[in-house]
Structure 1
Amino acid sequence: MATGPAARFVAAPMLALGLLLTGCASGQSQSAKPVDDAVRRITAPQGRYFGVSTRQAPWSRAETAAVARKAGRAPNMLEYFVKWTEDFRPAAVRASYGQGAVPLLTWEPWAGSGAGTRQPRYALAQIAGGGFDAYVTRFAEAVRAQGRPVVIRFAHEMNGAWFPWSEQRNGNHGGDYVKAWRHVHDLFARVGAGNVVWLWSPNVVRDTPRVSLRELYPGDAYVDLVGMTGYQDDESTAGAVFDATLAQLRGLSGRPVVIAETGARPGRKKAAWTAAFFRWFAAHPEVIGFVWFERSHADGGHQDWRFTQTPGTTRAFAGGLATVRLTRVSRS
């Protein structure tokens, strides 16, 4: 969740995501194909993702159901946040799939916002140098053991300056971010956690025009999806928020794109921008999904980003979403 200013598209047959990935915990070779197939079905869905981040996702079925009633469709992706003071919780994955939604875990290498952007314990060099290997390995083993695919958005919005994993903060240096990402990825690979879909997700370049995304990209060998965080500020169109960043992403990778956080600021433009967002989404099939930050101030938002803020914004969102073909995610 931002604290600062706010693919190639390949269709594949959508088999049931409910495969139990038998044997993947052992890392044996016979498990590789079902694991690979499950990850492939997430990154090349037959349809698209409508995700939400709510205060209690994925734990509260009532909260998800309330969103679905207002949206007219149930979300098929649920985003939640995990700090590096927390271990992996398999129950969160079960709760997400139990609601027919892919889990998107935003994994933040810090102790939380209370300590600010200077948290030297979590410097990128410490991560890349092995200072957290025991924790990361334990986390990876738990992800592998539960078996089902999980999208992990690690150290997001790294091009901004509002998190301690920014190369502009916390004593970090140029090149440290890629080293840290690759090291964490390699630890997951070492334990056989092939059921992870890695999502690399900068903030939109509108807010950080001088920071090169290319120098922060770990490479296609380490990334399955590319994404972005982008919120409407005073723009009238979605293209004004996303197009410049999407162009840079296309210059880096052909991986499918997910908008990992979005929403619109309260005001007279909100309903119109929300409707425009869906027109933009329809025109960009390489963007396979989005996550709406369905939170107000009381829920941890820096604005009331909710599409349900007013009857007008709710109608605009539901009308736009009705035009989207959503992929099916198995609950079992």
Structure 2
Amino acid sequence: MTGSHRRVDDVVTRRGLLGLAGLGVASSAGVFGMWKAAAREAPLAVSGTPTSAPSATPSPFTDAGQKLGGTVAFTAGKAMLGSYLGLDGMTYPEAVELRRGQIGRDQRITHVFYAWEDKLPDRIEGKPKDSIPMVSWRGPKYGEILDGDADDLIAAAARRIRDLDQPALLRWGWEMNGDWYRWGGAKNDQDTEGYVKCFRKLRKIFDDEGAENVSWVWSPNWNSSPKADWNRIDAYYPGDDYVDWVGVSGYNLHKEAPATLFDPVYAKYSPRKPIMITEVGSKDYGGTTKADWIRQLTTYVEQRPAIGGVVWFDTDTHPSYPEHWRLDSLPDAAAAYREMAGNARFSG
């Protein structure tokens, strides 16, 4: 979303404070099995640049011969369909059951939000068995990480994620190119390099703690706020050695087409990294507009082979927003989403 649709940074949002509605966190008795750390790939050499007519754009990974995405592996031609799911008056397991009946399947990614000071999950109650957790973890100001004061907190978080006992996506400090979060460059003296250092330090500590089940998601907003040269998206990129998936947030707030929201990030990073649409939703402009947009999104993903995940913001509980992002806000929108869930492109 754009900055005008965010709460002020000093207010902890419902998703940041509580994470997933109805989430249960408890100690896990399991010790995670051995996953080999994914090889950290060098940039891949490809010809050409993805275009706005991607039907003519070959998959950038077909001849790579490399494992992409880390422990949550990218599969060519397949996109995982997931959601952040928080429905008013329902526990998370109840919401999961409702969606299973509506779309005929479980979501492949379970998206949860945690504040910086929270204990990260080593268990998610009600999560579908084969669903992959994606943990969006808020950040502090950069100095708190870089001066070493948070080292113990980070190490403890790494051990808990390790004990999830399955591959997991970690999306730390998302939308850092916006001016609405305390970990954004705009609230850290325009120090984009400080963000890069923080991301790299977190990954090192997680690696040192043996959290080899984590795939790291770097996830800017689709556009930057403020629009200034210092705040360009690529200034925050930690480097190919530190990023497994490139994510992007983008909402149809002002009748933007999917290509408008996602093509700039896709064009820049898809030649060497799998792409995940980590937050997406659409407003209803009357008539069939929301259903139409969901179908546009389906076509968009079908035409862009490097997209390996789409995560809907499926909620009607987010504070200070008049929009209800839940996929079943209208019957035709729910039908369009069910079509997307049944599309072979989303069978990852």
| Residues 168 and 3 (structure 1), Cα distance of their counterparts in 2 relative to 1, 3 Å cut | closer
Q: Deviations over 1:185-209 (max 9, x none)?
A: 1111111211111000000027654
Q: Which residue of 2 aligns with 1:16?
A: none
Cα 1:64–1:5, aligned 2, differ >3 Å: closer, same or farther?
A: same
Q: Paired residue for 1:18?
A: none
Corresponding residue number in structure 2 for 1:126: 144
Query: Mapping of 1:1-332 within 5 angstroms?
Result: 4-5=4-5, 31=34, 33=36, 40=70, 42-45=72-75, 47-55=78-86, 60-92=92-124, 95-96=126-127, 98=129, 100-109=130-139, 122-171=140-189, 173-205=191-223, 209-210=227-228, 211-235=231-255, 237-250=257-270, 254-268=272-286, 269-296=289-316, 298-300=317-319, 302=321, 303-327=323-347
**Conserved? CA contact 1:124–1:172, under 8 Å:** no
Cα distance in 1 between the residues matched to 2:304 and 2:225: 22
Q: Percent identity?
A: 24
Note the residue ranges of structure 2 that are not aligned, 5 or more in a row.
Answer: 7-29, 40-66
Look up the equivalent residue of 1:75 and give its one-letter code: Q
SS at match of 2:217: strand
Tell me, yes or no, if the aligned pair for 1:205 and 1:245 is still in contact at 8 Å. Answer: no
Contact 2:37 2:212 in 1 (8 A): no
Query: In the comparison of the two structures, how many residue pairs are matched?
Result: 291
Structure 1 residue runs without a partner (length 5+):
7-21, 26-30, 110-121
Q: What CA distance in whole angstroms lies between the structure 2 residues aligned with 1:150 and 1:255?
A: 17
Distance 1:71 1:286 in 2: 24
Per-residue deviation, 1:259: 0.5
Q: Deviations over 1:122-164 (max 9, x none)?
A: 3202212212001001111222234321110000000101000
Secondary structure of 2:135 counterpart? strand
Q: Which moved more, 1:279-288 or 1:70-79?
A: 70-79
Mark the CA change 1:23 to 1:236 in structure 2 (over 3 Å): closer, same or farther: closer
What is the SS of the residue equivalent to 1:125?
helix
> Which is richer in helix?
1
CA distance in 2 between counterparts of 1:23 and 1:254 reads 33
- TM-score, normalised via structure 2 length: 0.75
Check the 8 A contact 2:114/2:136 in 1, yes or no.
Answer: yes
RMSD between superposed Cα atoms in Å: 2.9
TM-score by length of 1: 0.78
- The AA in structure 2 aligned to 1:140 is A
1:38/1:191 CA distance change after superposition, 3 Å: farther
